[in-house]
Structure 1
Amino acid sequence: MPSHPFDAAIALEPTESRGMSRGRTSPDWANMVGPFGGITAAVLLRAVAVHPDRAGDPVALTVNYTAPVLDGTFDVHPRALRTNRTNQHWAVDLSQQGEVKTNATAVFGLRRDTWSDTEPSMPAAPAPEDIAPTGLPDAVVWAANYDMRYVDGGVPRPGDGPASSSTTTLWTRDRSGRALDFPALAAISDIFYPRVFLRRGAMSPAGTISLTTYFHVDDDELASAGNDFVLCRAHANRFSRGYFDQSAEIWSRSGNLLASTHQLVYYKA
C-alpha cells in the first residue's frame, strides 16, 4: 500500500475485465460532495500513464464530472482511440455499479526540440516564505493535504462583501513534501475555490462540470520543480445564467509555466 496519501488515493489494481482497473475513494481527499475533483482527474490521468500502450507524456486532459462519485470502489477504463507518430488520443471512464460517474479524454505526446517561447509573464508575488500559511475552511477535507499561502483573493470572510475581481493568486505545495509529477499537477489544476464565492463575498452551491488542463512541460522539466511551491493564479471571464468559466496558470518558482487550465462551473446564487 502506498505510504503517501496522494499515491494511496490514485492507486489502481487490475481487474478480471480486460483493460479495466479498480480504485477506491480516500477519506483524506473528501470534498463537500464526493471526492475532490482534482484527485479524480489525477486518477484518470494515471490510468492512462500506467497503461502498457501509452506513449509519451501528458499534453492535455479534459475531465467531465457527470455525477457525484460515491465513497467506495470505482472502476476505470482507459481506451486508446488513435496513435500516430507524435501523439496519442485516449478516452477514460470512471464508473460505479455500471454507471459512468466521470469521463475524460487525454492526449499524450512525444515532445521534440523546437523553437519555444512563453508569452505571459509569471505574476509578481512575494516569496511564499514571506506569507503566512492560510488555506480553506476545515470542512474542506482535501485542502489539508496542501500548504496554501494566498497572495490575493483569499477565501471571503464574514463581512468582506462582494469583490470587484475574481482573481486569486496563491502559492501551494504538497504538505508532506511529495514532489510534483503529472497526476499531482492535474490535481493542483483544480485547487481554486469557486470564483463566484469571491465575487459575491459568500459561499453558495457550486461545482465543476468540466476541467481541461494543458501540460506545457515534459517529465524532466516537471521533475526540476521538485517539491517546491508553485504559484497559481485563476480568474473568471463571465458569470451568466448559472454557469461561469475559469482560466488559470500554474508556475514553478523558477518561472516556468507548468500548466494552464480552463473549467466550466455550475452555481446557484
Structure 2
Amino acid sequence: MTLHPFDGATALEPSGDGRWLGHTSAAYANMVGPFGGITAAQALSAVLRHPQRLGEPVALTVNFAAALEDGPFEVIAQPVRTNRSTQHWTLEIRQQGQPVLTGTAFTALRRETWAATEHAMPAVPPPAEVQPPTVGKRVEWVHRYEMRFVEGGFPSQWDGRDTGASRTRLWLRDAPPRPLDFASLTALADVFYPRIWRRRALLVPIGTVSMTVYFHAGAAQLHEAGTGYLLGQARAQAFQGGYFDQTAQLWTEGGTLLATTHQVVYYKE
C-alpha cells in the first residue's frame, strides 16, 4: 500500500523523554521552507503520539520563529499540567539546536453537554458543481490539496488592484483524498492563501508568525467526515504596520463546524 504524502511528512520517530525526530518533506515545500500547515501538523503529531496524552486536542497555538531548512528536525512535546479531564502542553521544534517553532496545546476529555453553533455554514453550491482552478500552482505543497473556489480564488491578474474584499470560500480536501484526523485538519486550517494577496492582488512577501486552531469536534466527528470535502471560509480583519490577521472556519459537507482558526501574518511592502 502506498503511503499517503501527508503520513510520510508527519512520520515521527520517538527518541525518548517526549522527544521525536522528523524530516521535512519535499511534497510540502513552500517558497521558503515547508508549508506552515504541515509544520503545525508535525508539532501536533508529537502530542497525539505521546504515551501520556489525556483526551483529544481542543486548541493548538504555534509560533513560527524561523523557517525550517530542508532536513531533519526534533519535536519536543511536554505535558506541563494534567488535571482530571484536561491537559496542557508546551511544544518546540528544533533544528541544529535552535528553536524554529514554539507552541502550546490543550487536550481534554470531551463530555456530552448542551451544544449550539452560532456560525452556520453559508449556502454555497456543492463541490461537484464547483470546478478546480486552472491557474498554475507556484509552490509544491498546493498540489497536495484539492481546492474548488466558490468565491475569492487566486487573482487572475496580479496588478496590485485593491479588490475591496478579503473573503474566500472554497471546498477543499487532501489530494489524494485521505481520512480526516486532527493532524490533517490542522494542516487544512492553513491552506488559505494570504488575505493580503486576495485584497490587493499583489505578491508581496509574507510569512505567518502565529497560528491558533480551535477544534470544535471530536475524533468521532472527524471519522464521520472521512475523505469528504470541507467548506473553508477565510477573511482578514485588519492590515496595519506590516501585519494582518485572518480568521477561518472549516465545516463538513453536512454543515458541522469542525474547527476555527486565527493567525497573524507579516507582510512587506
In the alignment, does 2:53 pair up with 1:54? Answer: yes
Q: Match of 2:33?
A: 34
Aligned sequence identity (%): 50
Alignment of 1:96-135 (within 5 A): 96-134=95-133
Q: Match of 1:256?
A: 256
Asked whether the 8 Å contact 2:158–2:202 carries over to 1, the reply is: no
Asked whether the 8 Å contact 1:122–1:255 carries over to 2, the reply is: yes
Q: Secondary structure at the match of 1:105?
A: strand
Q: Match of 2:204?
A: 204
Give the TM-score taking structure 1 as reference length: 0.97
Q: Match of 1:190?
A: 190
Structure 2 unaligned blocks of 5 or more? none
Alignment of 1:133-148 (within 5 A): 133-134=132-133, 137-148=136-147
Asked whether the 8 Å contact 2:244–2:264 carries over to 1, the reply is: yes
- Give the whole-Å Cα distance in 2 for the aligned partners of 1:210 and 1:19: 23
Asked whether the 8 Å contact 2:63–2:103 carries over to 1, the reply is: yes
Q: Secondary structure at the match of 1:224?
A: helix
Residue type of the alignment partner of 1:203: L
Asked whether the 8 Å contact 1:135–1:143 carries over to 2, the reply is: no
Asked whether the 8 Å contact 2:158–2:203 carries over to 1, the reply is: no
Q: Match of 1:236?
A: 236
Q: Match of 2:88?
A: 89
- Give the whole-Å Cα distance in 1 for the aligned partners of 2:158 and 2:101: 37
Q: 1:157-206 deviations in whole A, cap 9, x for unaligned?
A: 21663211100110001121211100000000100111001111111101
Deviation at 1:3, TM superposition (A): 0.8
In the alignment, does 2:160 pair up with 1:158? Answer: no
In the alignment, does 2:74 pair up with 1:75? Answer: yes
Asked whether the 8 Å contact 1:135–1:147 carries over to 2, the reply is: no
Structure 1 unaligned blocks of 5 or more? none
Asked whether the 8 Å contact 1:153–1:198 carries over to 2, the reply is: yes
- Give the whole-Å Cα distance in 1 for the aligned partners of 2:91 and 2:134: 31
- Give the whole-Å Cα distance in 2 for the aligned partners of 1:137 and 1:89: 42
Deviation at 1:18, TM superposition (A): 2.7
- Aligned length in residues: 268
Q: Match of 1:227?
A: 227
- Give the whole-Å Cα distance in 2 for the aligned partners of 1:174 and 1:135: 18
Asked whether the 8 Å contact 1:135–1:149 carries over to 2, the reply is: no
| Bigger shift: residues 75-84 or 136-145 | 136-145
In the alignment, does 2:259 pair up with 1:246? Answer: no
- Give the whole-Å Cα distance in 1 for the aligned partners of 2:134 and 2:200: 19
User: What is the aligned-residue RMSD (CA, Å)?
Assistant: 1.4
Asked whether the 8 Å contact 1:2–1:8 carries over to 2, the reply is: no
Give the TM-score taking structure 2 as reference length: 0.97
In the alignment, does 2:21 pair up with 1:22? Answer: yes
Deviation at 1:136, TM superposition (A): 6.9
